[in-house]
Amino acid sequence: GRLVSMMEKTLHDAPTRSVSAPLAGQHLTAWRVPSGEGYYTVFFMGDTPLGADVRSPVDVEVKKALGE
């Protein structure tokens, strides 16, 4: 529940932007991808946050999929 609330607040103005947060002793990085039925949430869990070298290419692919 906290994760969904955080994502809704953080992504309100930029719904395709990624968010990153500690969760259960690991680090979660997630994207909300709009679809016809609402949103899909795509996430990665790891020992450390995903770096910009990984997040940036994913951001580009999400935007391309949306036609931005």
Digit-coded pLDDT (tens) for 12-53: 766 667 788 888 889 988 887 777 887 788 888 999 988 889
Question: Which pLDDT score is estimated for 61?
Answer: 82
pLDDT the model gives residue 68: 67
The pLDDT of residue 14 is 65
Note the pLDDT of residue 16: 66
Return all residues near 34 (Cβ < 8 A) that are at least 6 apart. 15, 16, 66
Query: How many C-beta neighbours within 10 Å does residue 15 have?
Result: 16
What pLDDT, on a 0 to 100 scale, did the predictor assign at position 1?
65
pTM, to two decimals: 0.67
